A and B are shown apart, each in its own frame.
Chain A
Amino acid sequence: MKNLKSVLSFSMLIAFGLLIAASCNAPSANTRSGVLSGDVASQVYVAPGEYDEFYAFMSGGFSGQIGVHGLPSGRLLRIIPVFSVDPEKGYGFNEETKPMLNTSHGFIPWDDAHHPELSQTNGVTDGRWIFINGNNTPRVARIDLTTFETAEIMEIPNSGGNHSSPFTTENTEYIVAGTRFGVPYPQQDVAINSYAENFSGMLTYISVADDGDMDIAFQILLPAFDYDLAHSGKGKSHGWTFFTTYNTELKSTLLEVNASQNDKDYIAAVNWKKAEEYIKQGKFKEVPANYANNEYSDETHMATSTMKKTVRILTPEDCPGLIYFLPTPKSPHGVDVDPTGEYIVGNGKLSADLTVHSFTKMLKAIENESYEKMEAGIPVLKFEDVVAGVVPEAGLGPLHTEFDGRGNAYTSFFISSEVVKWKLGTWEVLDRAPSFYSIGHLMIPGGDSREPEGKYLVALNKITKDRYLPTGPELCHSAQLYDISGDKIKLLLDFPTMGEPHYAQGISADRIVPKVKKFFALEDNQHPFRAMGEKETRVERSGNNVHVYMTTIRSHFSPDNIEGVKVGDKVYFHVTNLEQDWDVPHGFAVMGANNGELLIMPGQTETLLWHPKKIGVYPFYCTDFCSALHQEMQGYIRVSPSNSNIDLAWNLGEEEPVQ
C-alpha cells in the first residue's frame, strides 16, 4: 500500500515536471505569433506573377545598401548598392562607379546607412528619388527611382556621424544632415576631455534642385550635443526642422551613464526659411572645406567626383530667431511631426512617457519671448509653454512614431518590444501589439508625410533570435508586417531583411512603376570608350595601357580573341552591351583579375581593369545567363612576355586575326 502510494506520488511528480518542461520549452503558437486570427495568409499572399501593392525601401544599416521589398508579401526585389561596394553588380569595382565612393579620405568601400527618405512634393511622396545617410563617414546619397541606382553622393564636412539625416522638407527643397558625434571645428589636435570647450555640433542643409542635383546650401554651428534624429515640418510647420539631441551634458566618455544625467534634453527647432533670409543678407561665413560630391550620369554611364572647397556657415549669435531649444524629457530619440504639422512627438527613449509639443504653442512662446534660459546664445523655451500633451506610460523605451492619416499615431517601444497605437489630441492609448523582438524604427507607407497610406505598418526589429530556422550565430534582422486598417493592430507576417534596417520608407507602387526604365537607349550612350556596334570594336595601345573596345550581344563578345597584350600592361575592358531589350544584361569576368565582374545593362558601357601578371592564355566569359547560347559566350586573351614584339590583334569568328 505504502509502495503504491509512493509510486503514485512519484509519477505525479514526474507528470508535474513534464508539464513545467512543456510550458518552458515549447513556445506556444500564441506567444510567438501574437495571436494570429482570421485568414492572415491571404492578406499577404501575392499570387505568382502579381505585383505587390507597395514598395518598401529598407535601409541596409551596416551593409551600406538599400533593400527593396514588396508589401504585403515582404519579398526582396533588389539590393541597391549605395555606400558599399557590391561585387554582384560591379559597383565600386568597375572604373565607372569607383568615383561614387570617393571622399576627402579617399576611396571608402563601406558605410553604415540608416534612414531612407523619399522625395516629396507638397508633403506627399512623389517617387522621384530616395535619399539615405551614410553615418560613419558623413554622407548623403540620392537614388534615382527610374533606374534604382545611386545617382549622387555628397560628403558632409565638419560633421562626425551623420545620423539625423536625410529627412526632407515638404517639397524636397532641402534634406538635412545633423552630426551625431561632436567633433572639433575646425578639426584640430586637442585633448578629448576638452570636449565641452573645443567640440562643436553642425547641422547641414543640402539643397536639391529640380533635376535632383544636391549642393550644401549652408551649415549651422551649434554646441557639441549629439544631434540624433530629425524631421522637417509640414503644412503649418513647413519652414522648420526639428532635431532631437542627447548628450547635452557635453561628455566624451562613458556616455551611457554620463549622457543620461539631464532630466531633459532638447529638441532643436530650426527655422530654415529664416536661414535662407540670413544667407541672402550675407550673414554667413564662407569657410574653407574639403568634401566630395560624386555624381553618376546615365548618359556617360560614369561617375565623376568633384572636391568642393568651401561651405557657408551660420552661427546662432549672428542670426537671432534661427533656432530654439524645446526641453524634452530623457534623451529623446526620434522626433516625428504629424500629418497636419501641428504635433511634434519627442520619443524620450529613457522615459516611459511620450512628450508631444505643439507647433502653435511654440510659435506663441517665441512671440512672447518666454524663455527659460539661454544656452550657447540659443533661447530655451519653457517646457510647459510648448508641450501639447503627454502619452503617459504607454510603454518602455519609446523610439519612433509614425502616423496613419486618421488621427492616430503608432510608437515603437524598444524595451517593452511593442507597437503602441494612440490618439493625437486625446493622448489615449488605443491598442498595442508585441514585436519580435525589440523594435527600432517602424514604418507606415507615407507615415512621415502629409498623406500617410495607412494600411500597413512594418516593424524593423533589432533582435531576431528564434524567429527563423537558425543560421549560426549570425542572423538576418527581422521585419514584421501589421495590418493597421482596422481598430486593432493585426500581425500578418515576418520577413528577413538585409544588414540592419534602421528606418524604411514605403510608397504605393503606382507612383513608381510607370517611370521605371527598362534599358538604356544605345543611341544616347556618351561613354568616351563606347563601341556603338561590332564594327567599332577594336584594341588600342598607348604605352602600357591597352584599351579593349568590346561589345556584347547574344551570344558573343566582339572581339573574342585578343593577342598582343604583355605582362605589366594595364588592360581596360570597355564593354558595351548592344542589347536593347528589358532584362538582357551581360556579365564579364576574366581569369585572375584582382577585381570584381562587370554586369552591363543593355545600352550601357562598363570598364574592368585587369593587370596581367603572368604569360599565358586566359579565358573570359559572360557571367549572367543570357540566352540558350550563354555557355558559348566566352573568349580568350593571350598574354605575352613584356619584351615580346607581338602586335595587337583581335578577331571574332575568324581563324585569322582581322584588323
Chain B
Amino acid sequence: MKENIPRILMLISGLLLIGLFIFPMWRITLIAPQYPEGITMFIYINKLGGDTPSTIQNINILNHYIGMKFIEPDSIPELKYFPYIVYGFIAMSFLFAWLNKAKLFLFWGALLILVSCLGIYDFYLWEYDYGHNLSENAPIKIPGASFQPPLFGIKEIINFTAISLPHISGVMAAFAILFSLIAWRLKLKIGLNEKSDSIGSQLHPDTLMHSVA
C-alpha cells in the first residue's frame, strides 16, 4: 500500500485540477461606500463571473466612467484555450500515475508551475491593458492615476479598494503542484529505500541467520 502513495498523490493532483472548471481560481473584490457588501468578480479557467449574475455588467458600468474597456469574456482568447491545457495536465496526471515514475511526477509539477507563472503574467498583462488603455473620451480623467487592479493583494484605486486574491480552484491548483512534488520526493525515497532494503537483506548477518534457520 505504502509504495502506491506517490502515484495516488499524482492522481489526486490531476483530480484537483477539475476544480478549475467548477470553482473560481481568482477573485477581484471592489469595495466603495456605495458598495458596502463589495462587488466581486470571479475568474474561472473558462469564464468570468461574479457574486451575482450581473456582476460583469455592473463592473463595466463603473469602469466606463474612466474609459476602461468593457470586460467581454468573448474577447479573451485565454478563456477558450486554457481549458485544453488543463485537460492535458489532467490526462498526463492519469498517465503518469499509471507509469509511476518519479521523474514524470517532477516533470508534471514543474511544468504546471511554469504554466501557472505564464498564466499569472498573462493576467498581469490583461490588468495592465485594462488599467492603462483608457478611452480618449472618458468622462472622468485623472492625470497620473493608475486604474490597474493589483495582481495580488490590496490596492486603493480612486474611491475603490481593490482586493485580488486566489480563490478556491486556484488554491486547489497550488495543492496539485504541492502533491505532485511530494509524490516525486516520496517516489524517490521509496526507490532509494527499495534499493537499500534489498542490499541490506543480502548483507545483514541476522537475516542471514534467519534464512539459514
Q: B139 contacts the other chain (Cβ, under 8 Å)?
A: yes
Could you say which residues of chain B place their CB within 8 Å of the CB of A554?
A: 61, 64
Instruction: Map CB proximity to B onto A577-612 as digits: 1 under 8 Å, 0 otherwise.
Output: 001110000000000000000000000000000000
* Distance in angstroms between the alpha carbons of A338 and B23 in the assembled complex: 54
Closest beta carbon of chain B to A410's beta carbon, Å = 39
Give A59 to B64 CA distance when docked, in angstroms.
44
Contact A629 B65, beta carbon cutoff 8 Å? yes
A553 touches B65 (CB 8 A): no
Determine whether B143 belongs to the interface, using a CB cutoff of 8 Å to chain A: no
- Whole-angstrom CA separation of A627 from B54 in the bound complex: 18
| Contact A580 B54, beta carbon cutoff 8 Å | yes
Q: Are A628 and B54 in contact (CB under 8 A)?
A: no
CB distance from A586 to the nearest CB of B (A): 12
Decide yes or no whether B58 CB sits under 8 A from chain A: yes
Which residues of A are found within 8 Å of B140, using beta-carbon distances? 628
* B65 near A580: Cβ-Cβ < 8 Å: no
Q: How far is the CA of A628 from the CA of B52 in the complex (A)?
A: 23
- In the complex, are the beta carbons of A553 and B139 less than 8 A apart? no
Distance, CA A627 to CA B66, complexed state (A): 13
- Please give, as numbers and ranges, the residues of chain B lying within 8 Å of A553 by CB-CB distance: 61
When distances are taken between beta carbons in the complex, the residues of chain A under 8 Å from B57 are 580
Within 8 A of A (CB), among B17-75: 52-54, 57-58, 61, 64-65
B57, B58, B61: residue with the most chain A Cβ atoms closer than 10 Å? B61
C-alpha spacing A634/B155, complex, angstroms? 35
Which A residues from 330 to 361 make CB contacts under 8 A with B? none
Interface residues on B, range: 10 to 19
- The A-B contact count (CB < 8 A) is 22
Q: Which residues of A contact B58 (CB under 8 A)?
A: 580-581
B65: A residues at CB distance < 8 A: 627-629
Q: How far is A632 from B52 in the complex, measured between Cα atoms in Å?
A: 28
CA A553 to CA B62, docked complex, whole Å: 11
Residues in A whose Cβ lies below 8 Å from that of B54: 580-581
> Min CB distance, B35 to chain A, in Å?
9
Instruction: Return chain A residues, CB-CB under 8 Å to B64.
Output: 554
Chain A residue at minimum C-beta to C-beta distance from B139? A629
Interface string of A274-308 (1 = CB under 8 A from B): 00000000000000000000000000000000000
- The interface size of chain A toward B, counting residues with CB under 8 Å, comes to 10
For residue A626, give the distance in angstroms from its CB to the closest CB of chain B. Answer: 10
> Complex formed: what's the CA distance from A25 to B64 in Å?
63
Q: Using Cβ atoms and an 8 Å threshold, which residues of chain B touch A627?
A: 61, 65
A580 touches B53 (CB 8 A): yes
A579 to B54, CA, bound (A): 9
Mark contacts of B121-150 with chain A using CB atoms, 8 A cut-off: 1 yes-contact digit, 0 otherwise: 000000000000000000110000000000
What is the distance, in angstroms, from A584's C-beta to the closest C-beta of chain B? 9
- Report the bound CA distance from A521 to B65 in whole Å: 24
A188 to B57, alpha carbons, bound, how many Å?
61
- Docked complex: A541-581 residues within 8 A CB-CB of B: 553-554, 579-581
Distance between Cα atoms of A554 and B140 in the complex (Å): 14
Measured between beta carbons, the chain B residues less than 8 angstroms from A580 are: 52-54, 57-58
Nearest CB in chain A: distance from B171 CB, A = 29
Cα–Cα, bound, A629→B140 (Å): 10
Q: Once bound together, how far apart are the Cα atoms of A581 and B57, in whole Å?
A: 9
Q: Counting chain B CB atoms within 10 Å of each CB, which of A521, A581, A628 scores highest? A: A581
A9 to chain B, nearest CB (A): 70
Q: CA–CA, A521 to B52, complex, Å?
A: 11
Q: How far is the CA of A564 from the CA of B186 in the complex (A)?
A: 79
Which residue of chain B lies nearest to A578 when distances are taken between CB atoms in the complex?
B57
- Cβ-closest chain A residue relative to B36: A49
B52 contact set on A, CB distance < 8 A = 580-581
The CA of A581 and the CA of B51, in the complex, are separated in Å by: 12
- For window 507-522 of A, CB contacts with B under 8 Å fall at 521
Give Cα A513–Cα B29 distance, bound, in whole angstroms: 25
Question: What residues of chain B lie closer than 8 Å to A629, measured between beta carbons?
Answer: 65, 139
Question: A581 — nearest CB in chain B belongs to which residue?
Answer: B58
Cα A553 to Cα B65 in complex, Å, equals 13
Choose among B53, B54, B58, B140 the residue with the greatest number of A CB atoms under 10 Å from its CB.
B54
For A580, give the chain B residue with the smallest CB separation.
Answer: B54
Which residues of B sit under 8 angstroms from A632, Cβ to Cβ?
A: 139
Q: Which of B155-208 contact A (CB under 8 A)?
A: none
A477-525 residues with Cβ-Cβ distance < 8 A to B are 521
> What residue of chain B has the Cβ atom nearest to residue A49's Cβ?
B36
Q: How far is the CA of A465 from the CA of B205 in the complex (A)?
A: 111
CB distance from A226 to the nearest CB of B (A): 52
CA distance A579 to B58 in the complex (A): 8
Kindly provide the distance from the CB of B176 to the nearest chain A CB, expressed in whole angstroms. Answer: 35
User: What residue of chain B has the Cβ atom nearest to residue A518's Cβ?
Assistant: B52
B residues 62-114 in Cβ contact with A at 8 Å = 64-65
In whole angstroms, how far apart are the Cα atoms of A580 and B56 in the complex?
10
Q: Which residue of A lies closest to B57 (CB)?
A: A580
Chain A residues with CB under 8 A of B139? 628-629, 632
A496 to B30, CA, bound (A): 39
How far is it, in angstroms, between the C-alpha of A628 and the C-alpha of B61 when the chains are bound? 11
Q: A148 vs B65: C-alpha distance in the bound complex, in angstroms?
A: 33
CA distance A298 to B57 in the complex (A): 22
Residue of B nearest to A602 (CB): B54
Q: Which residue on A lies nearest to B62, using beta carbons?
A: A554
Alpha-carbon distance A146/B110, docked complex (angstroms): 53
- Which B residue's beta carbon lies closest to that of A519? B54
Complex: A521 Cα to B57 Cα, angstroms: 13
Please give the distance in Å from B130's CB to the nearest CB on chain A. Answer: 19
Minimum CB distance partner of B58 in chain A = A581
A580 to B57, CA, bound (A): 8
Chain B residues positioned under 8 Å from A579 (CB to CB): 61
Kindly state the separation between the CA atoms of A627 and B62 in the bound complex, as whole angstroms: 9
A554 to B64 Cα, complex, angstroms: 9
Which residue of chain B has its CB nearest to the CB of A603? B54
- CA of A627 to CA of B140 in the docked complex: distance in angstroms? 13
Cα distance A579–B62 in the bound complex, in angstroms: 12
**Contact string, A610-633, partner B, CB cutoff 8 A, digits 1/0?**
000000000000000001110010
Chain A residues within CB distance 8 Å of chain B: 521, 553-554, 579-581, 627-629, 632
Q: Can you list 10 residue pairs at the A/B interface with Cβ under 8 Å?
A: A554-B61, A579-B61, A580-B52, A580-B54, A581-B58, A627-B61, A627-B65, A628-B65, A628-B139, A632-B139
Closest 3 CB pairs of A and B: A580-B54, A581-B58, A554-B61
Q: A554-B61, A627-B61 known; 6 other A-B pairs, CB under 8 Å?
A: A521-B53, A553-B61, A580-B54, A580-B58, A628-B65, A632-B139
